[in-house]
Amino acid sequence: MGVLAVAAISALAGCASQRGVTTYDSTRPNPGTEGFVPLFTRLSTATRGPLERVVAFDGFQTVGIAVSPSGRLFLSSPRWHGNHGNSVVEVFTGKMQPPASYPNPSWNAWSPGVRPERSWVSVQALNSDDLGRLWVLDPGAPGFEGPIKGAPKLVRFTDRDKIGASFLFDDMIAPEGSYLNDVRIDTKDGFAWISDSGLGAIVGVDLTTGRAMRFLEDHPSTKAVPGTEAVIGGKPWLRDGKTPMINCDGIALSPEGDYVYYQALTGRDLYRVPTLAMKAALRPDGEWEGRFTGATAMTVNDHVEPMGQTFITDGMIMDENGVLYFTALERDGITARLPSGELINVTADERISWPDSLAIHGGRLYFTTARIHETGFGRSEGPFAEGPYGVFRVPLVEVK
């Protein structure tokens, strides 16, 4: 579903040590502990400014990001390759200290045969809600295969780093070929909205009952658009000579929680759907607006609204002013859609290589750089690109 005013950034070349790591290839650093360039100023005390790099890694392919209201920074790396180390880490800003496995090393030590319900199999996305709770989305599909039975899950942690809830998804919600990609949380009414980029759908979860449903799985708005071509990093983005067909990927929730915005990665068409249509289907005994009474998974299709063309994008997020931010893969940058519908550039830089996931904190937009177009998939020795992967931030757009 990724920079501070006085951040000290040193060169990455040769900074990773070669200490042996149990379970993993000792010729490479354990991602998330070595090759780490620290940040010396806490996130919560920085001032506004231009594009800044917060942190950089060798080996740890930063994809998911969450920043808590208190400024804690969490990152995730999916199990897309062999030689995988940590899946979720906390980065200790303001300290000369390497990231730590989150919530502990055992959760990050999954291997075939280990219970997938109590370990990270292939974490894709993180989200910090407005109550300060961290949510971790694990599609349970290492190398995009599966998912493994019992592995797809959404886990909520308390602000004391204890598990507050764990929502396990069976093959009705995470069927073969699915890939739960990004998540947004509605704390007001108690729902989670998840994109499925594998098959193309939106998964809704009633967080009060645990009931989950798949929506729009037969609707063209959640599907990749055939014929789409993408040029990323100056080259056509191809796999086996063809543009990869990636379905509904980026997902955003409006400030009042009344709309979910979404878009296929392989496509440039933005859509939204009223959350009431899905809430009424998930919680039929709730007091919902009359036109949604008796809603089902199928009737949600009738409420999809096209919002026009945007950009080839991986991640999306909406701020409290209704500005919708996109990771603009072809532009090596971040773009935005204003409430008026106008599309603008926010920032662009050659270091912003495949901007992936987004988070908002302290008037700034944080985003990861995953370099997916450079890394390949399924290599036993790890991704093509060793690094740097990392996190940047820019000020939010001011709406007048």
- Strands laid side by side in the 64-67 sheet: 64-67, 73-76, 88-91, 100-101
**Cis ω before 388 (30° cut-off from 0):** yes
Provide the sign of the torsion angle of the four alpha carbons 396, 318, 233, 344, taken in this order.
negative
pLDDT tens for 340-358 read: 999 999 999 999 999 999 9
State which H helix or E strand residue 115 sits in. Answer: none
φ, ψ dihedrals at 137, nearest 5°:
-105, 120
CATH superfamily of the domain spanning 36-395: TolB, C-terminal domain (2.120.10.30)
Q: What is the CA radius of gyration of the chain?
A: 20
Q: What residue has token string 């070929």?
A: 177
User: Is the pLDDT reported for residue 213 higher than 60?
Assistant: yes
Q: What's the predicted TM-score (pTM) here?
A: 0.87
Q: What residue has token string 């496509």?
A: 267
User: Is the pLDDT reported for residue 156 higher than 50?
Assistant: yes
User: Is the pLDDT reported for residue 3 higher than 80?
Assistant: no
Helices and strands (DSSP H and E) totals, the chain: 2, 27
pLDDT tens for 275-329 read: 999 999 999 988 887 788 888 999 999 999 999 999 999 999 999 999 999 999 9
Please state, in angstroms and as integers, the Cα–Cα distance from residue 180 to each residue in 124, 322, 350, following that order. 8, 25, 29
Q: What residue has token string 């729009």?
A: 216
pLDDT tens for 84-139 read: 889 999 998 777 788 999 999 999 999 999 999 999 999 999 999 999 999 999 99
